[in-house]
Amino acid sequence: MKKEQMDELLQECGAVLKGHFLLTSGLHSDTYVEKFKLLQYPRLTEKMCKEIANYFENKKPHLILGAATGGIIISHAVGRELSVKSIFAERVDGKLVLRRGFNIEKGERVLVVDDVVTTGGSIYELLDLVEEYGGKLLGVGTLIDRSGDALDFGVDYYTLVRYNIPTYKPENCPLCASNIPMTERGRTGK
């Protein structure tokens, strides 16, 4: 899927929102990508996740790992495409952990996936989990990277579309300085 096609899909389904948003990372932005506007379409989600699966197919992962909530959908769809196990991590006391009997076996080949990445915080936590359990990290796949090409996970990284959307620390936010009220969407409670 080309960037232009992805842009068009995001616009058509109303996923690109304008306002004053508090992102999961704690940063502020005037643009927010509401991934669930996109993920509500199973066939579209399947098509996007197939792209990620095709990219990493030759690495032969044993396990796909995502983070709750949107990462669950991505992990499941990529796992289905590759016919491998899919698990997810959840936040407990602010930290991503494996629950529900999920485990990463020592030496298990793991592909980490996520929906939208800004600072990479959740992905870095997932990478730490893979290391903690003794898994072998194969790469990272995402639907949307809004970091502006600022991330390096130290492994093969593939994203379907990359945006350079400005983000601001709250104390340097021009939207705050202009007294623009915060828009409701944009923070998952991390």
Confidence category of residue 128, pLDDT binned at 50, 70, 90: very high
**Would residue 188 count as lying in a domain?**
no
CA gap 49, 43 in Å, rounded: 10
CA gap 136, 99 in Å, rounded: 20
Neighbours of 170 (CB within 10 A): 11
Residue 190 has pLDDT above 70, yes or no: no
Domain that holds residue 106: 3-177
CA gap 63, 150 in Å, rounded: 27
Confidence category of residue 124, pLDDT binned at 50, 70, 90: very high
Residue 12 has pLDDT above 70, yes or no: yes
CA gap 62, 7 in Å, rounded: 31
CA gap 27, 117 in Å, rounded: 12
**Would residue 92 count as lying in a domain?**
yes
Domain count, the chain: 1
Average pLDDT, the chain: 91
Of 67-71, 81-85, 173-177, minimum mean pLDDT range: 67-71
pLDDT tens track for 32-78? 888 899 899 999 899 999 999 999 999 999 999 999 988 999 999 99
Length of the chain as a residue count = 190
What is the mean pLDDT of the segment spanning 122-131?
97
Collapsed DSSP state (helix, strand, coil) of residue 2:
coil
Per-residue model confidence (pLDDT) at position 162 = 86
Please say whether the beta carbons of 48 and 143 come within 8 A.
yes
Which candidate, 135, 132, 138, 116, places its Cα nearest to that of 187?
Answer: 116
**Would residue 172 count as lying in a domain?**
yes
**Would residue 16 count as lying in a domain?**
yes
Confidence category of residue 83, pLDDT binned at 50, 70, 90: very high
Q: Hey, what amino acid is at 186?
A: G
**Would residue 183 count as lying in a domain?**
no
Please say whether the beta carbons of 35 and 144 come within 8 A.
yes
Residue 189 has pLDDT above 60, yes or no: no
**Would residue 93 count as lying in a domain?**
yes
Q: Which helix (H) or strand (E) holds 32?
A: strand 28-33
Per-residue model confidence (pLDDT) at position 185 = 66
CATH number at residue 70: 3.40.50.2020
**Would residue 186 count as lying in a domain?**
no
**Would residue 189 count as lying in a domain?**
no
Confidence category of residue 149, pLDDT binned at 50, 70, 90: confident
